[in-house]
Structure 1
């Protein structure tokens, strides 16, 4: 009977440790999302900036182009349903397809830097309205969640966003420096 009681206490101790650990991770994540953003890099000269971004969902790549020539290529993570077509509605875990633009930048994002893609456009909004649902919004190109950059090798092996386009923090700093507001974004299947 006594060994059963010790076993029960041991289980309870492990469970309490796990709960405390998960709570600490949650608090860390919340604090880093709120305060963990860094200083953005200097913007590159106009001659080094991209004039177009091309995203290939199937091959999970993002290309920066200038004068139709690739100047950089990155491996990306997408929404967990990215291979099931274009984004149709809020919460569908899909990444949109079509021609958009970078319409604003956020240096204080809960993900390491972010560039907002102009989704939904008028066509996306009309389609959603006709279907009776919201099209979704806040589709970004961004880095990893603040404070979790050290897990880049894990994040880059899976699709984990809600429909955004994610790269490592180091790559996001390069993209940030080369992509001004107004750059065209072509997202292809």
Structure 2
């Protein structure tokens, strides 16, 4: 059956409309400039800074993060092989508190050493751009820690992740992309609770995570000495750094190899730094302990003063209450005399008066009687009914008869 010209025109028009709509959808997905978000170039400010720091645009990167100050650092390798700080981003949100993630659902952002490979990058993230941290790593798994889908992403919202603004997440993603394009097979993300200085270690010396943080500090110390990301391994359920095992593979749950060692020069440099840090840590810890002791003693003395004042106030209130009750009891007698012997009304009102005074006394000590010192309450006063004096009867005999006779005659 031949197709009419109007039908062909209608189909062509519909096809053209669909192409236009598809273009709008594609442009919306790719951004206003039509480039997919994961493929956008780095901002000129970053490329200019790389040039200033003698960095190749596709050189390897390394990331360090600090919860306490919400800082996210991107370091990049210079042409001399060492790393320099390229950019520091503000973490928009991280969830939980200082300390490692333990289990799925605890809404805790992880701490530790994590490796990011190309397969962990997510260009289609619902939170702009993201990459998976890789939790749990070998150390976490050896301790039975659980959790999934923990990311560094945009959108400024977090439930166990490290959330950035979209602008920051984009720059971090593009830096990682270019490093992979330059040949870096993976990059390290080291997540710390705070900067691992002796001052901060002393500040948090009584935290239950201290042993874990001392282990993290060792990894940080290796970087501070070498200005290169440490090679991180796990054995005997602990992190080890820059070790030589003679080709023996490390097992996270098994004892470390007996012949495991760190290069002599590096071991000496790290230990020298740690010895200096220990002097500062010990001095500050003693200072903070003394301050804590003074603060505790002051708080205890203040508590004793408050307790003594409270007891004195209660005793005064009870004494005042006793006076009120005594006054209420004594106030019953004058109305009896004034009533001319009819004490029923006065005595009937007395119990109510006593109760009113007792209630007032109770309020004086905070609404309840003082503990251990009950308010005195007198025995109920029963009304006394005074009988009228008996009237004398008329005398019998002669005078009675005379009275009747006079009555009859009158």
Partner of 1:167: 164
Contact 1:52–1:183 (CA<8 Å) still a contact in 2?
yes
Residue in 2 that maps onto 1:142: 153
- Corresponding position of 1:54: 64
Residue of structure 2 equivalent to 1:41: 39
**SS where residue 135 of structure 2 aligns?**
coil
Cα distance, 1:119–1:179 mapped onto 2, change above 3 Å: same
- Structure 2 CA distance, aligned partners of 1:183 and 1:117? 11
Higher RCO (CA 8 Å, separation ≥ 6 residues): 1
- Structure with greater helix percent: 2
SS, match of residue 105 in structure 2: coil
Distance 1:61 1:186 in 2: 12
Q: Name stretches of at least 5 consecutive residues in structure 1 with no aligned partner.
A: 1-34, 129-133, 145-154
For residues 114-134 of structure 1, the C-alpha deviation after alignment (integer angstroms, 9 at most, x for no partner) is 111121112211212xxxxx6
- Alpha-carbon separation, structure 1, partners of 2:165 and 2:93: 12
SS of residue paired to 2:171 = helix
Please give the residue correspondences for 1:51-130 in structure 2 after superposition, counting only pairs within 5 Å. 51-67=61-77, 68-81=83-96, 83-103=97-117, 104-128=120-144
Q: Deviations for 1:128-181, whole angstroms, at most 9, x for unmatched residues? A: 2xxxxx61011111111xxxxxxxxxx4xxxx4111111111111111110146
Alignment equivalent of 1:186, drawn from 185, 190, 204: 190
How many angstroms does 1:51 deviate by? 1.6
- In the TM superposition, residue 41 of structure 1 has moved relative to its aligned partner by 3.2
Cα shift at 1:36: 6.5
Structure richer in strand, relative to its length: 1
CA distance in 1, matches of 2:102, 2:93: 15
- Report runs of 4+ in structure 1 exceeding 6 Å deviation: none
Q: SS at 2:143's partner residue?
A: helix
Q: What TM-score, normalized to structure 2?
A: 0.31
* Matched residue count: 135
C-alpha separation in 2, matches of 1:141 and 1:175: 9
1:141 is paired with a residue of what secondary structure?
strand
Q: Which residue of 2 aligns with 1:7?
A: none
Higher Cα Rg: structure 1 or 2? 2
> Which ranges in structure 2 are unaligned for 5 or more consecutive residues?
1-27, 48-54, 78-82, 181-185, 194-410
Name the counterpart of 2:382.
Answer: none
Q: What RMSD, in angstroms, separates the aligned Cα atoms of the two structures?
A: 2.4
